[in-house]
Chain A
Amino acid sequence: MSGVFLSVLTRELRLALRQGGDSLMVVAFFVVTVVLFPFGVGPEPAVLERISAGVLWVTALLASMLSLDRLFQQDYEDGSLDLLVRSSAPLSAVVIAKVAAHWLTSALPLIAAAPLLAVLLQMRGDGFAVLMAAMALGTPSLSLIGAVGAALVLGARRGGVLVSLLILPLSVPILIFGVSAVDAAVMGLSYAAQLKVLAAILLVTLALCPFATALALRQAVE
């Protein structure tokens, strides 16, 4: 099981590194969209500070969705997904490895870029560490939920647009608790509860989503 996990993970990481570009595109999208907000709502520091946590979370959510088609689409088209599904290895382990690779190559750069953008949005100092902690706990759940969506739309018409309709409603709780953790920290309140809820969501998605994704992949290649 751990052998399969590691070999799929290294394969995915190697592919992502050699193709390059993809992770950079996600970060570039994140930065550009965030920078648009001061133009949209005006540059007053008080306004930007108030909305900074929400803006960063929403744009991170959208950015992480950009790269979802990379998760299974290529393997589905070139037939390697058939081999993965038919191999004796547990499919959920393969899914977890692919999601882990997706998280490392698309969400981790976002988390690294977030403090810089938080400075641009005038976020107060207390928020930075909590923002990163909340994103570290929340983005793996986003990747896991996204994997289910990406697997469900394989072979569908207009799959890319469809996947956002499917998974955005399911991502709402992560967004709510992610933003409220940062807001609490900025206001000097306790944020432990929100982080614990994010951790709980992560455990639930970790238990359910690989299973559901495997189910969806099986019926996609049948």
Chain B
Amino acid sequence: MQKFANPTRFLKLSKVLVPWCAGLTAVLSVVGLVWGLAFAPPDYQQGETVRIMYVHVPSAWMGMFAYMFMAAASAVALIWKHPLADLAARAAAPIGAAFTLICLVSGSLWGKPMWGAWWVWDARLTSMLVLFFLYLGYMALANAFDDVTRGNRAAAILCLIGAVNVPIIKFSVDWWNTLHQPASVVKMGGPAIDPSILWPLLLMGVAFQLYFATVVLLRMESGIAAAKVRALGLLEAGG
């Protein structure tokens, strides 16, 4: 990993990876969506509305994954002071926030026909909303300083503290008996979903993951470019 901490090497690698990630994202999401929306069977209880799941569940996974990714990057940034780790954490924040928002909105659309309410104050919904606020706080703090490094370090510390919330979200449905259904894919003793529904769901999960990788790489590239522009501007102002 240390080898790719160098921005030039990273850019070289990123240039190779981005087309592959983007291409696979496109292929997998088309296959996953068609499979999930047209061929997978409707649920015996929830009928056709269950298809919201193919967007809702992967975006929930990614909302949490992006935060874990940011926390890991922040830890690396604080311990080894890698500039690329800061860049990675910052690049992931708006994407993670968007996934979390998609999860909340699609869940709300799904909740209306199933539970009869757009929103209920259930443990998982609430902790997901808190995650969304954490993303907002992170982005606000990272951009609140005139000095970029100062913003990066403050945001990294905040990100690590906020990481406490992620396991709470994951286990909220097991710890509290609330309206939201308990974990059924990632659990002890294997998934509790029929393969005909599980496969398109996992496919969508991989597609979302690859989309995340693509956009993070692109945003990191543009972050490096922005840092170069800033450095040139400072040089010009100083000289």
Q: Give A residues with C-beta under 8 Å from B.
A: 148, 152-153, 155-159, 162, 165-166, 168-170, 172-173, 208, 212, 215-216, 219-220
A-B contact pairs, 7 of them (CB 8 A): A155-B145, A169-B130, A169-B137, A215-B78, A219-B150, A219-B157, A220-B154
In the complex, are the beta carbons of B161 and A170 less than 8 A apart?
yes
What's the least CB distance linking A67 to chain B, in Å? 20
A-contact 0/1 string along B158-184, CB 8 Å cutoff:
101110110010000000000000000
Task: Report the Cα distance A25→B144, complex, angstroms.
Answer: 28
Q: Does B207 touch A at the CB level, under 8 Å?
A: no
Task: Report the Cα distance A148→B155, complex, angstroms.
Answer: 12
Q: Give B residues with C-beta under 8 Å from A.
A: 78, 126, 130, 133-134, 136-137, 140-141, 144-146, 150, 153-154, 157-158, 160-162, 164-165, 168
**Chain B residues near A166 (CB-CB < 8 A):** 137, 140-141, 158
**Chain A residues near B160 (CB-CB < 8 A):** 212
What's the least CB distance linking A198 to chain B, in Å? 16
Task: Report the Cα distance A156→B134, complex, angstroms.
Answer: 18
In the complex, are the beta carbons of A168 and B144 less than 8 A apart?
no
SS of B interface (majority):
helix
**Of A158, A165, A169, A216, the contact of B154 (CB 8 Å cutoff):** A216
**Chain A residues near B157 (CB-CB < 8 A):** 148, 152, 212, 215-216, 219
In the complex, are the beta carbons of B133 and A156 less than 8 A apart?
no
Known: A148-B161, A172-B130. A156 touches B154 (CB 8 A): yes
**Of A212, A219, A220, the contact of B161 (CB 8 Å cutoff):** A212
**Of A157, A168, A173, the contact of B145 (CB 8 Å cutoff):** A157
**Chain B residues near A208 (CB-CB < 8 A):** 161
Known: A169-B162, A216-B154. A153 touches B133 (CB 8 A): no
In the complex, are the beta carbons of A153 and B136 less than 8 A apart?
no
Known: A153-B141, A156-B141, A157-B145. A219 touches B154 (CB 8 A): yes
**Chain A residues near B158 (CB-CB < 8 A):** 148, 152, 166
Task: Report the Cα distance A162→B157, complex, angstroms.
Answer: 15
**Chain A residues near B144 (CB-CB < 8 A):** 153, 156-159, 162
In the complex, are the beta carbons of A170 and B141 less than 8 A apart?
no
In the complex, are the beta carbons of A165 and B161 less than 8 A apart?
no
What's the least CB distance linking B152 to chain A, in Å? 10
In the complex, are the beta carbons of B162 and A162 less than 8 A apart?
no
What's the least CB distance linking B64 to chain A, in Å? 15
**Of B136, B141, B146, the contact of A152 (CB 8 Å cutoff):** B141
- With both beta carbons as reference points, the residue of chain B lying nearest to A216 in the complex is identified as B157
- With both beta carbons as reference points, the residue of chain B lying nearest to A152 in the complex is identified as B154
In the complex, are the beta carbons of A169 and B141 less than 8 A apart?
no
- With both beta carbons as reference points, the residue of chain A lying nearest to B126 in the complex is identified as A172
What's the least CB distance linking B166 to chain A, in Å? 13
In the complex, are the beta carbons of B154 and A168 less than 8 A apart?
no
What's the least CB distance linking B104 to chain A, in Å? 14
**Chain A residues near B164 (CB-CB < 8 A):** 170
Known: A162-B141, A208-B161. A169 touches B153 (CB 8 A): no
**Chain A residues near B145 (CB-CB < 8 A):** 155-157
Task: Report the Cα distance A166→B142, complex, angstroms.
Answer: 11
In the complex, are the beta carbons of A162 and B150 less than 8 A apart?
no
**Chain A residues near B126 (CB-CB < 8 A):** 172
In the complex, are the beta carbons of B140 and A162 less than 8 A apart?
yes
- With both beta carbons as reference points, the residue of chain A lying nearest to B123 in the complex is identified as A176
**Of A148, A168, A170, A219, the contact of B153 (CB 8 Å cutoff):** A219
In the complex, are the beta carbons of B133 and A168 less than 8 A apart?
yes
In the complex, are the beta carbons of A165 and B140 less than 8 A apart?
yes
What's the least CB distance linking A70 to chain B, in Å? 20
**Of A155, A172, A212, the contact of B150 (CB 8 Å cutoff):** A155
**Chain A residues near B162 (CB-CB < 8 A):** 169-170
**Chain A residues near B78 (CB-CB < 8 A):** 215
**Chain B residues near A159 (CB-CB < 8 A):** 144
Q: Which among B126, B141, B154 has the greatest number of chain A C-beta atoms within 10 A?
A: B154
Contacts A162-B140, A166-B140, A208-B161 known; list 7 others, CB within 8 Å.
Answer: A152-B157, A156-B145, A157-B144, A165-B140, A169-B133, A215-B157, A216-B157
Task: Report the Cα distance A157→B147, complex, angstroms.
Answer: 11
